[in-house]
């Protein structure tokens, strides 16, 4: 996640709306940095899980779209507010309300809506999980473009080392060039994360295919994936 732009060398108060995975990891990182964290989570079971996993944080079971709840929990006194709920519309509404309360930093997560659309209605900082993942993948791809060697290039180990993202450049004589992914029988535990073609990023679907010169990024937990042909059973 991008930096919240918090003040250095001081304890900041951060309110997080939504206690999903992103909210959990963000809260843990903030706590480790010495900030105070308050999480509003609608689901009681999840709120209990968070209270056990994050004993230093204040966990409240409640609907973050409830204006009275936000006011009772001191929204206007927060240094930062982060909207991480499941629906973009809810994230946008509560972020606009937090901005109206003069919260120092307001961050809004976009799940489906364009970040440009949300920014156009005055939201200060809009993040997209898809775009952040894309930026990370592209940064590794570009860093490896000048490296020597053929075959697979390990980009990044993920999920505590249980999986990895791999980059391949599609050769001209690849047997599956032009074959749609719908017609390919890909191995299990494997995802074609993206294709980069003429500097254009493609998130492949069934009707898409690989072409010579493409850069293909594969995410897999398989340990024997060493050539592009290995993705097919």
Minimum mean pLDDT range among 39-48, 63-72, 73-82, 111-120: 111-120
Q: Do the Cβ atoms of 22 and 123 come closer than 8 Å?
A: no
CA 168, 198, 224 angle in degrees (round to 5)? 10
pLDDT at 93: 87
Query: Would you place residue 147 in the very low, low, confident or very high pLDDT band (cuts 50, 70, 90)?
Result: very low
| Number of domains the chain is built from | 2
Q: How far apart are CA 4 and CA 30, in angstroms?
A: 10
- Mark whether 20 and 109 lie in a shared domain: yes
**pLDDT reading at 171 higher than 50:** yes
**Co-location of 48 and 106 in the same domain:** yes
Q: What is residue 146's predicted lDDT score, i.e. its pLDDT? A: 38
Q: Do 23 and 122 share a domain, yes or no? A: yes
> Domain ends where: 68, 94, 129?
129
Distance of CA 83 to the CA centre of its chain: 14
- Same domain? For 36 and 119 the reply is yes
- Write the DSSP assignment of 53-100 as a string of letters: H-TTSEEEES-TT-HHHHHHTTGGG-SEEEE--S-HHHHHHHHHHHHH
pTM of the model: 0.54
pLDDT digits (tens, 9 = 90+) for 41-53: 999 999 999 999 9
Over 90: is that where the pLDDT of 17 sits? yes
* pLDDT at residue 91 in the model: 85
Contacts of 229 (CB under 8 A, 6+ apart): 174, 175, 176
Residue 100 lies in domain = 13-129
Decide if 38 is inside a domain. Answer: yes
CB 182 within 8 A of CB 207: yes
Instruction: Answer whether residue 209 shows pLDDT above 70.
Output: yes
Pair 48, 70: CB distance under 8 Å: no
Residues 99 and 158 in one domain: no
Based on the domain organization, do 102 and 152 belong to the same domain?
Answer: no
3-state secondary structure (DSSP) of residue 215 = strand
Instruction: Note the pLDDT of residue 131.
Output: 60
Q: How confident is the model at residue 158 (pLDDT cuts 50, 70, 90)?
A: low
- Domain identity same for 23 and 118: yes
Residue 166: name the closest of 232, 209, 226 by CA: 226
Cα–Cα distance, 119 to 96 (Å, whole number): 11
In the sheet where 13-17 sits, what is the strand order? 58-61, 36-41, 13-17, 80-83, 105-110, 125-128
Task: Assess contact for 1 and 80: CB atoms under 8 A.
Answer: no
For residue 116, count CB atoms less than 10 angstroms from its CB and return exposed for 0-12, middle for 13-18, buried for 19 or more: exposed
Residues 123 and 106 sit within 8 Å (Cβ to Cβ): yes
Average per-residue pLDDT in the chain? 79
Model confidence at 145, pLDDT cuts 50, 70, 90, reads very low
- The percent of residues in the chain predicted with pLDDT above 70, rounded, is 74
Confidence label for 139 from pLDDT (cuts 50, 70 and 90)? low
Query: Among 111-125, 138-152, 170-184, which is the least confidently predicted range?
Result: 138-152
Residue 175, in any domain of the structure: yes
Q: Same domain, yes or no, for 87 and 118?
A: yes
Q: Any idea what the CATH number is for the domain that residue 32 is in?
A: 3.40.50.720
pLDDT at 162: 62
More confidently predicted of 216 and 140: 216
Q: Kindly report, residue by residue over 191-206, the tens digit of the pLDDT.
A: 888 898 887 888 888 9
pLDDT confidence tier of residue 132, bands split at 50, 70 and 90: low
Note whether 118 and 172 are same-domain residues.
no
């Amino acid at each position: 996640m991008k930096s919240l732009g918090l003040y250095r060398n001081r304890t900041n108060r951060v309110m997080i709306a939504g206690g999903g995975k992103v909210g959990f990891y963000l809260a843990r990182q903030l706590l480790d940095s010495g900030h105070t964290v308050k999480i509003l989570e609608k689901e009681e079971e999840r709120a209990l899980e968070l209270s056990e996993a994050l004993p230093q944080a204040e966990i409240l079971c409640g609907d973050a779209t409830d204006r009275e709840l936000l006011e009772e929990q001191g929204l206007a006194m927060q240094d930062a507010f982060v909207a991480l709920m499941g629906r973009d519309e809810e994230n946008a509404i509560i972020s606009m309300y937090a901005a109206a309360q003069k919260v120092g930093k307001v961050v809004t997560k976009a799940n489906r809506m364009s970040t440009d659309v949300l920014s156009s209605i005055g939201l200060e900082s809009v993040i997209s999980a898809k775009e952040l993942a894309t930026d990370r993948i592209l940064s590794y791809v570009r860093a490896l473009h000048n490296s020597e060697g053929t075959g697979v290039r390990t980009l990044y180990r993920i999920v505590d080392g249980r999986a990895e993202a791999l980059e391949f450049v599609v050769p001209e004589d690849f047997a599956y060039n032009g074959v749609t992914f719908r017609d390919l029988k890909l191995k299990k535990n494997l995802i074609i994360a993206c294709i980069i073609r003429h500097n254009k990023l493609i998130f492949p679907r069934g009707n898409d295919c690989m072409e010579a010169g493409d850069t293909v990024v594969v995410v897999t937990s398989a340990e024997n994936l060493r050539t592009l042909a290995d993705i097919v059973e």
